[in-house]
Amino acid sequence: MEKAEGARFEPKAEGRRTELLLGVERRLHTALYVRDASGLDVGISEGVPPKGGMIAGSQVLPVNPNMKDAVTAWLAWWKSIIEWDYMFNPALPTEERTRKEAEIAVCETNADLGPLISRFVQQAERYYDSWEFIQAAETGKQELRQICGRAFDRIPEASLKRASTKGTRSISVNVLVYDIPWSWSPKMGHVMCTTSSISGNPTALELIIAKAVLVA
């Protein structure tokens, strides 16, 4: 996860502060790009953005893979990437990250999913390097810093004191350049959100982030 230039926000609780870590993880975008570009229909699943929000999705042609097996493999791939992405905490054992890397590799070489990844990964890479993607990611991060500042201000001092005895806590927010509003907290102290949710429903996102801080 890309660290957010040491951005720090000072909550109201005396002697405490919350550190914000922002990320734009390419592997997550690759998984969404492959899903949308290939026409995979993974249905509605918790922790998976709705289909069709990838900005460049209309620029590629759908294919018809073995849908059932490819969908199962894609969902396992997405879950493994999320778990890997939130292991950037240096306190976590290195062997755990290594194990997750191995899980991702297994998914990426799956007989049904692997060919789809190979077919679309270069297009996904070109998309990441496009001005459109970079501009959307930077704008989203700038707006998100303001949203997080307001979210931290929402938290009563007493609640912060009850939530933790540590002097500093971190919350990580992963930004998805995606054209559909969506946000989710996969685990305590972590939030995922799309650029569309940042611009379209900032108040709802403030509440989600504030809640994630309290349980961080």
- Domain spans of the chain, in order of start: 8-214
pLDDT tens digits for range 130-150: 999 999 999 999 999 888 888
Question: In which residue are the tokens 């305590």 written?
Answer: 188
* Residue 195 predicted with pLDDT over 90: yes
Contacts of 164 (CB under 8 A, 6+ apart): 16, 216
Q: Among residues of the chain, what percentage have pLDDT more than 70?
A: 74
Are the beta carbons of 104 and 117 closer than 8 angstroms? no
Mean of the per-residue pLDDT values of the chain: 78
**What are the tens digits of pLDDT across the range 34-54?**
998 888 888 888 899 998 887
C-alpha distance from residue 101 to each of 19, 83, 117, 149 (Å): 26, 10, 16, 33
59 compared with 213, residue with greater pLDDT: 213
Q: CB-hemisphere CA count at 13 Å for 117?
A: 22
Query: In 3D, which of 178, 159, 177 has the Cα closest to residue 169?
Result: 159
Listed residue (17, 24, 18, 20) closest to 6, CA to CA? 20
In this prediction, residue 42 carries a pLDDT of 86
